[in-house]
Structure 1
Amino acid sequence: MTTPSRPVRIGVQIAPQHSDYRAIRDTLAALEDLGVDIAFNWDHFYPLSGEPDGLHFEGWTMLAAWAEQTSRIQFGPLVTCNSYRNPELLADMARTVDHISAKNPGDEGRLIFGIGSGWFERDYDEYGYEFGTAGQRLDALSEALPRIESRWSKLNPAPTRDIPVLIGGGGEKKTLRIVAEHADIWHSFSDVETLERKLVVLREWCDKVGRDPSEIEISTGTISSQTSDRALLDRQLEAGVTLFTLGISGPDLDLSGAKELLAWRDAL
């Protein structure tokens, strides 16, 4: 097996649905104790699976609590919807949450700033945002990211470090261009063959915008049935993935898949 160019990391996305907050809080603590590298939630207002009107919590206020609760694990939204907040406000929120997570003087924060263009129409309709088209939402994301980066440069106090930007999505005409321009991490749910094709496109966009593609960490979503498939994980690693993120959801916040991923990582 080819030695990866950067450390292999394991993420777990705790879906903020179908659980009370105490269960989510306890799950986060357990993931940190297990040695998971990154904990994610998401930025929606209603469940994405199961009972459509089931238990659900808002993501960014939860992240502020995670920043205070944890001491080692990185964390962030997978992903923030660009449509829901003014870019300058969002930059300030992210900077503040990042500072909360820096426990001691001189420490760097631990926030990973995941962002995407948005897609869940019910969120838009129920909360009064204009849904528009996918192209319009991607254009808005492209316009927002320079504003977010500019606001980070103006805030006092400044962010504790260059906050890592994760961009989710796989569109080859717009999304991957935005990834090439702004992302430290690119996240998708591609199978291996699709991932390999999209990485070629991403490298082409990097060439066009003058970016070294090796600067971008490749992340993939993993489902529980894949966590014991070490051959698949090895193939994804060979393709260039170094961040593997498992999604878990209430009411049964099952940690067995995370333990399998950690065992695979630690055996590399």
Structure 2
Amino acid sequence: MTSPAPAAGDRPVRIGVQLQPQHAPYPAIRAAAARAEEMGLDVAFNWDHFYPLYGDPDGLHFECWTMLAAWAEATSRIEIGALVTCNSYRNPQLLADMARTVDHVSAHDTGTGRLVLGIGSGWFEKDYTEYGYEFGTAGARLDKLAEDLPLIESRLAALNPAPTRRVPVLIGGGGERKTLRIVARHADIWHGFGDAETIAHKHEVLDAHCAAIGRDPHEIERSAGVDTADDPGEKGEALHAAGTRLFTIGVGGPDFDLAPLQQWLSWRDEKNAGA
């Protein structure tokens, strides 16, 4: 369980980018992460897949966690993480140790790590079939996520040295019966997709799951994916009114055009200045 966190209205707006690790050589991805930090973005995510999700299905692609370790060395301020790690691909206690290690690598001389442990139950069948993982059913994968998260938490608590901070856990997915119940029990951040009405409804469901276990729902930061074409003055304002505070824009290779994110950064600064 997390320690108390600010209510949604007291949290600052944050802007993230998901640098999709596809269709580009690694130097281009690394340069994009450096640009994201220079621009003042709050979080840089990649994703945990083995093949591209868009474009040529067999195009250039890189693995998630080795990349996060490299980003931990190549950056110094921006938070980093996967949006999201697939729980099926790694032993949960090994994943906890990997997360602790990247947390320390990212701390540099500050003593405080920058990793966000984003995790979900997995969904991309090609990853499973090509790499020999059992795909099973969505329900079974969610049950396994619920089973593995306590193992991740207990291993993080047992490691020597311990993580530099309580590593925040982000859980992605909008399933109301299972996923959001798991979020209520284990997450520091919930990430979803949809318009403001959809997101507001998911927040209500999540709040109810929190109430059922006696957890303050304000402990969970609310995150949502937005598009480069979205206007922060419209979609951003609508999602903000629904309680969203972390807004993440996906950007793909080979060019990794981050220019559209500048309007989101300006909007963030205006919102936070007026808070």
In which range does the TM-score fall when normalised by the shorter chain? over 0.9
Q: For 1:132-211, what aligned pairs fall within 5 Å after superposition?
A: 132-211=136-215
- Report the AA paired with residue 261 of structure 1: W
Q: Which residue of 1 aligns with 2:126?
A: 122
Matches within 5 A, 1:66-145: 66-104=71-109, 107-145=111-149
What's the CA shift for 1:224? 1.0
The residue number in structure 1 matching 2:242 is: 239
Aligned partners of 1:74 and 1:110 also within 8 Å: yes
- Mapped to 1, the partners of 2:27 and 2:162 lie a distance apart of 32
Residue 52 of structure 2 corresponds to residue 47 of structure 1: yes
The count of corresponding residues between Structure 1 and Structure 2 is 264
Name the structure 2 match of 1:58.
63
**How far 1:252 sits from its partner (Å)?**
2.2
Indicate the residue corresponding to 1:262 in structure 2: 265
Match of 1:20 among 17, 20, 25: 25
CA distance in 1, matches of 2:32, 2:9: 29
Taking the aligned partners of 2:26 and 2:177, their CA distance within structure 1 comes to 39
Kept after mapping to 2: 8 A contact 1:165/1:182: yes
> What is the DSSP-based 3-state SS (H/G/I as helix, E as strand, rest coil) of the residue aligned with 1:225?
coil
Question: Which amino acid in 2 is paired with 1:80?
Answer: T
For residues 137 and 191 of structure 2, what CA distance do their matches in structure 1 show? 22
Pick which of 30-39 and 249-258 moved more.
249-258
State the shift of 1:229 in Å. Answer: 4.3
* 2:255 corresponding residue in structure 1: 252
Offset of 1:4 from its aligned partner? 2.9
Contact 2:232 2:267 in 1 (8 A): no
Q: Deviations over 1:51-107 (max 9, x none)?
A: 000000000000000001111000100000000000000000000000000111x61
Q: Which runs of 4+ in 1 moved over 6 A?
A: none
User: TM-score, with normalisation over the residues of structure 1?
Assistant: 0.97
Which residue in the other structure is 1:225 paired with? 229
Q: In 1, distance between residues paired with 2:207 and 2:157?
A: 28
Cα distance in 1 between the residues matched to 2:252 and 2:268: 22
RMSD over aligned CA atoms reads 1.0
Does the 8 A contact of 2:104 with 2:163 survive in 1? yes
Asked if the contact 2:232/2:264 (under 8 Å) is kept, the reply is: no
Q: CA deviation at 1:23?
A: 0.6
Structure 2: gaps of 5 or more residues: 1-7
Share of identical aligned residues, percent? 64
Specify the SS of the correspondent of 2:9: coil
Contact 1:4–1:237 (CA under 8 A) maintained in structure 2? no
1:33 aligns with 2:43: no
2:180 partner amino acid = L
